[in-house]
Structure 1
């Protein structure tokens, strides 16, 4: 089975609770993304592209910042959530950033390109980042963000450590998603020719009844079979880890969101 088909089966929008899980991504990570983008400068009147836009919460915020004189395009392979949301000021563009031809993609010349939790899930991701850089206008910024597994090292709970290690393995073997990719940041941006390259890390806290705890509960549970199949964790420890992450009084460091950015010449 191809990774794209597998991804649709595990995390397709028609799967139970998947829409809730996708919505929680914004609650967990949007504040960090807005902060990092804001630090790059004012967006009024600018042309912006959100790659892998999902439900479009970042694109909607970009539109509010760019204003009526700006332009914001939300790009995703599956645009169903974008169409349902109907964010004002956001143009919706359906295409696969990895496989689409230039004629199937928006016209280059963006002042800001944002891609969050996108590159780590793409095949040949090393080829996609330079492609994004080529779409920047002179002086435009690219900012990419992906998660790395800090729970495997930081959690005091052995079952949680085993669960996250098994999840990473399951993602790699079933979907070709690499949650270690962001550990290379910011080097890929430097190699792609960007200047003023920098990076930052943000760590959402996992607490009971928090959006972060619910997001990871749904994320892990959707791949329960594949995670256990790695042999790195059994069913009993899987259930114990989920119970711990959602229990009252739990305070755990979540997966770290690593953001890197740079400016085109």
Structure 2
């Protein structure tokens, strides 16, 4: 995704023998994207995201009338599923530009009509203009200069072009297990709270998704609409949770937010298939450039 490379965390350590007070943990900004594309678990997370969220994303694309010859910019491409789907839709006369800070995963689809380019949407000028569609999913919430990134995406559209921004809102629904009925669910929700703490330290706006309709209207787009998708008890949610926790394990432990034993127990609980896991709601907002 379009964020800066990770650096070591500076999270607080607990006082020996004293329980961690999650709400007292420092929220001082630590630069760096928590979920680095170069880690092994990134591919598993991309696969899970595709299973959970691609149907919603593609439904919106279809509603725009996407077809042959369209010029599309996929921002913070990460994995390959969205880029590959767009390439089939626009055909040989279209163009799909896939950009990211780290293009190691999406590079495998770099063939006509797909162009892959390293680009930081929050720090660089748009990589082109005249696009019929610009899309970013689960990207801007992590970008330090979200305002600049959004302006850049809109500037790249042709008049009448469509912007679709999809971002999570963990503050709207913060729980991994909305039905917290036992110790397994309590542990899951405690680790999810630790994950949110690490995201906030790095400048993620955990309430960004709900702001998208207003931000698109204020940016001058017309016909702005939005909806939200909130999966519960999907096998892909379990796969996503396992990959995410493994990816941030050392940071959770290093910040005093969990022990390796607690994380191992949580992953065992997830693997049992008996937990109803959810994601934060993904809010999709779209509009047309005048």
Q: TM-score range by the shorter chain?
A: 0.7 to 0.9
Provide the secondary structure at the position in 1 that maps to 2:85.
helix
How many Å separate the matches in 1 of 2:40 and 2:102? 17
Q: Work out which of the residue numbers 198, 205, 229 in structure 2 matches 1:170.
A: 198
What residue is the counterpart of 2:156 in the other structure? 135
How many Å separate the matches in 2 of 1:48 and 1:111? 6
Pairing of 1:25-44 with structure 2 (within 5 A): 25-44=49-68
1:160 aligns with 2:188: yes
Q: RMSD value over aligned CA atoms?
A: 2.5
Unmatched runs of 5 consecutive residues or more in structure 1: none
Deviation at 1:230, TM superposition (A): 5.3
Aligned length, in residue pairs: 257
How many Å separate the matches in 2 of 1:42 and 1:21? 27
Deviation at 1:118, TM superposition (A): 0.8
More strand by share: 1
Structure 1 pair 68–97 and aligned structure 2 pair: CA distance change class (3 A): same
**Is the Cα contact below 8 Å between 1:52 and 1:74 reproduced in 2?**
yes
What residue is the counterpart of 2:273 in the other structure? 248
Q: Work out which of the residue numbers 205, 226, 229 in structure 2 matches 1:202.
A: 229
How many Å separate the matches in 2 of 1:226 and 1:142? 35
How many Å separate the matches in 2 of 1:9 and 1:231? 16
Per-residue CA distance 1:198-217 (angstroms, 9 max, x = gap): 1111122344xx23211111
Per-residue CA distance 1:2-46 (angstroms, 9 max, x = gap): 962325785242x33333333332222212211122122233221
Provide the secondary structure at the position in 2 that maps to 1:177.
coil
Q: Work out which of the residue numbers 112, 115, 118 in structure 1 matches 2:133.
A: 112
How many Å separate the matches in 2 of 1:251 and 1:228? 25
How many Å separate the matches in 1 of 2:111 and 2:230? 28
Per-residue CA distance 1:162-186 (angstroms, 9 max, x = gap): 222221111121x322332112221
Structure 1 pair 111–176 and aligned structure 2 pair: CA distance change class (3 A): same
What residue is the counterpart of 2:19 in the other structure? none
**Is the Cα contact below 8 Å between 2:41 and 2:246 reproduced in 1?**
no
Deviation at 1:111, TM superposition (A): 0.9
**Is the Cα contact below 8 Å between 2:43 and 2:79 reproduced in 1?**
no
Deviation at 1:49, TM superposition (A): 0.6
Which entry has the higher C-alpha Rg, 1 or 2?
2
What residue is the counterpart of 1:191 in the other structure? 218
Deviation at 1:137, TM superposition (A): 0.7
Report the more deviating stretch, 240-249 or 211-220. Answer: 240-249
Structure 1 pair 248–235 and aligned structure 2 pair: CA distance change class (3 A): same
1:147 aligns with 2:148: no
What residue is the counterpart of 2:29 in the other structure? none
Deviation at 1:94, TM superposition (A): 1.6
How many Å separate the matches in 2 of 1:233 and 1:36? 39
- Name the structure, 1 or 2, with higher relative contact order (CA <8 Å, separation 6+): 2
How many Å separate the matches in 1 of 2:102 and 2:63? 30
How many Å separate the matches in 1 of 2:255 and 2:208? 20
